Amino acid sequence: MKVGVLALQGSVAEHLKLITSVNKKIEAVPVRTVDELASVDGLIIPGGESTTLRKLIDEFDLFTPIKVRVEAGMPVWGTCAGLILLANKIEGERPYFSLLDVDVVRNAYGRQINSFVAEGDFADMYINMVFIRAPKITRVGGNVEVLGVHDGVPVAVRQGHILATAFHPEVVSRDNRVHKYFLSMIESKE
């Protein structure tokens, strides 16, 4: 199995490290080109700055190739800015990939200084959730499963082969369980 992390901006190295920590036989590679994208079985769109990321994805001609592969069933996981890019609706902005039936509000928890760590449920696990200028999910479509909630707000959702988290599991470097969960989504596709 080969897993890619979109490596244009944001937390890339942390994701790569955590993927291989689940299983050394899994190849984890940065993705910057169409050929690299074609070679992976699943893709992580990391957190960072969604405005920058969308510009870079356009510039690297990766918008259509990513959209087409996800529509064809490639598992994808968007964290934070990645969630924003996947959402069907972004308050005050035009949506980007429109692949995930949720609405989001960017920077809804406040400024950088209001970033925080919380504990909460993710699927059947109890994990640490690091929120860094996170988006808030304000609506969840009927075919979207809520995997995690913080303060009554969904923070982890899944729509079939599409996973999205408002928080950053890659920051908690000793805990690879959310990565393990995503890898099992890829495995079940193969």
β-pair type (76-79, 42-45): parallel
Residue 16 or 26 with smaller CB distance to ligand GLN: 16
Which of 74, 81, 127, 183 lies at the binding interface for ligand GLN (CB under 6 A)? 81
Q: Per rule CB under 6 A, is residue 107 in the interface with ligand GLN?
A: yes
Residue 80 bears catalytic tag? yes
42 neighbors 5 (Cβ within 8 angstroms): no
CB of residue 25 to ligand GLN, shortest distance in Å:
29
In this complex, which beta carbon is closest to ligand GLN, that of residue 27 or of residue 49? 49
Residue 91 catalytic?
Answer: no
Q: Is 132 in the site for ligand GLN (CB under 6 A)?
A: yes
Give the residue with the Cβ less far from ligand GLN, 26 or 179: 179
Nearer to ligand GLN, 1 or 30 (CB): 30
Is 168 catalytic? The answer is yes
Using CB under 6 A as the binding rule, the residues of this chain from 24 to 53 that contact ligand GLN are 47-50
Distance, in Å, from the CA atom of 2 to the CA atom of 41, rounded to the nearest integer, reads: 6
* Interacting residue with ligand GLN among 15, 54, 133, 161 (CB under 6 A): 133
**Catalytic entry in 15, 80, 161, 179:** 80
CB of 107 to ligand GLN, least distance (A): 5
- Residue 60 to residue 62: CA distance in whole angstroms: 5
Q: Extract the tokens encoding 170.
A: 């890659």
Sequence-distant (6+) residues with CB within 8 A of 64 are: none
Number of shown-chain residues binding ligand GLN (CB under 6 A): 11
DSSP state of 9: S
The residue type of 62 is L
Nearest CA-CA partner of 148 in 106, 119, 173:
119
Question: Crossing angle for the helix pair 13-22 and 177-189, nearest 10 degrees?
Answer: 70
The token duo for 104 is 């989001």
Residue 37 structure tokens? 């994208």
Per CB under 6 A, 169 contacts ligand GLN: no
Which residues are near ligand GLN by CB under 6 A?
Answer: 47-50, 80-81, 84, 106-107, 132-133
